[in-house]
Amino acid sequence: MSAAINNRYEFVYLFDCENGNPNGDPDAGNTPRIDPETSHGLVTDVCLKRKIRNFVEIVKKQESPFRIYVREKAVLSTVRGEAYEQVETDAKADKIKLGRDFMCKNFFDVRTFGAVMSTKENNCGQVRGPVQLNFSRSIDPVMPLEFTITRMAVETEKEAQSQDGDNRTMGRKNLIPYGLFRAEGYISAHLAQDTGFSEDDLELLWASLINMFDHDHSAARGKMNARKLFVFKHDSALGNAPAHKLFDLIKVDAKEETGKPPRSFADYENGISVDKDNLPQGVELLEML
């Protein structure tokens, strides 16, 4: 694997959802997450990290050094047991450090996002990942909708008898008609040196952001697509400008006031502007998508 990255990065990621639920809230009946004060849609950082993990698992097929630690139905302490099998010392502190090093070396998501592995069983310490994401927010308010759906069958004989001959059961489905979401992320070269996050990992991260929705389709999520990926590359590890000033260079607005809510990316495409004239010295802007 290549060496750890030596440059700081920030990025702005635009993705949209059409006739789907981009990130349901299980504490609210799986309705789309929204900011109650503004009605803007929200997507958690955990949601996007899950899709990145899934894409890497598809591409790399759980082979080291690109294995995924936090997988669906994984028993994490058992996974960390592999690290302890590789440790050949009786010193407790050394076991934790060597276990941590093993996890960073072999698991993409540990050296990318970090992990808390300091539990009693197979303690591998804690890792602070170099790649961090904010919650995504829709550019405009979204309108969550709820629909009643029916199933023309029941699960058990008891249910069939209680339906008085009608085998239909009722359910609910939630969606938003359309939302364009903006996510912002950070990549620390300093933390990358600690975890070993490499140039190969960085390229895999960009590929994941660009392609992950094409491998995550479901009826519940509707049509979700990656639309734009703007990357700010600093020519140093510490960076050459504050992140918020770089994010402010990218503006996204609906292309014109039509009196109708946006319903497709075409309603925004001409409203995306990048102020390249005020790009700070020592920062390169890369349009990956």
Residue-wise pLDDT for 197-243, tens only, equals 999 999 999 999 999 999 999 999 999 999 999 999 999 999 999 99
pLDDT tens digits for range 30-83: 999 999 999 999 999 999 999 999 999 999 999 999 999 999 889 999 999 988
Q: Where are the domains of the chain?
A: 9-60+129-147+173-287
Q: What is the mean pLDDT of residues 106-110?
A: 97
- pLDDT value of position 236: 96
Q: What is the pLDDT of residues 10-21, one digit of tens each?
A: 999 999 999 999
Whether pTM > 0.85 for this model: the answer is yes
CA angle 133, 271, 269 (to 5 degrees): 80
Confidence of residue 93 (pLDDT cuts 50, 70, 90): low
In this predicted structure, what is the pLDDT of residue 120? Answer: 84
How far from each other are the two terminal CA atoms of the chain, in whole angstroms?
Answer: 25
pLDDT digits (tens, 9 = 90+) for 114-154: 999 998 888 999 999 999 999 999 999 999 999 988 877 77
Residue 156 banded pLDDT, cuts 50, 70, 90: confident
Going from the C-alpha of 186 to that of each of 2, 12, 27, 239, the distances in angstroms are: 20, 9, 29, 11
**Phi and psi, residue 45, nearest 5°:** -60, -35
How many C-beta atoms surround the C-beta of residue 2 within 10 A?
11
